[in-house]
């Protein structure tokens, strides 16, 4: 064996040791990537039902909001109708009742004034 053969043999052994030393971190990195893939898969599997439930809840809330909107619209219409009815009552009966009350007050004042004179 010549010096070149020995040098080549040493280089080959060093290369094998280097590959062996680099293989260990690569294997560990592969395990880490496998664990990461499994964690993402579990997270995805756990998240899907949660997203489905959230979608259902939001849909139900939207339906309830539409019901509340209908109730609010109805209440606003009732308030408008009561306001109109109050204005109508005040216009039709308010003025005559005030006149009758004023007339009654005047008659009562006249009667009490006659009693004082008598």
> What are the DSSP calls for 9-28, one per residue?
HHHHHHHHHHHHHHHHHHHH
Sorting pLDDT into bands at 50, 70 and 90, what band is 97?
confident
Tell me: pLDDT of 90 over 90: no
- Claim: this prediction has a pTM higher than 0.85: no
Residue-level pLDDT at 4 = 86
Task: Give the model's confidence band at 116: pLDDT under 50 very low, under 70 low, under 90 confident, else very high.
Answer: low
Instruction: Return phi, psi of residue 2, to 5°.
Output: -95, 175
User: Residue 104 — very low, low, confident or very high, per pLDDT cuts 50/70/90?
Assistant: confident
Spatial CA neighbour of 107 closest among 115, 42, 17: 115
Decide if pLDDT at 114 tops 80.
no
> How many Å apart are CA 1 and CA 79, to the nearest integer?
111
pLDDT tens per residue, range 3-36: 888 898 999 999 999 998 989 989 999 999 999 9
């Amino acid at each position: 064996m010549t010096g070149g053969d020995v040098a080549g043999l040493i280089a080959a052994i060093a290369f094998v040791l280097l590959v062996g030393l680099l293989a260990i971190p690569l294997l560990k990195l592969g395990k880490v990537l496998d664990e990461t893939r499994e964690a993402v898969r579990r997270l995805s599997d756990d998240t899907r039902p949660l997203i489905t439930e959230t979608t259902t809840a939001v849909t139900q809330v939207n339906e309830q909001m539409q019901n509340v909107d209908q109730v609010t619209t109805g209440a606003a219409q009732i308030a408008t109708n009561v306001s109109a009815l109050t204005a109508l009552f005040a216009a039709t009966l308010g003025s005559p009742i005030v006149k009758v009350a004023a007339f009654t007050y005047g008659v009562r004042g006249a009667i009490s004034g006659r009693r004082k004179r008598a």
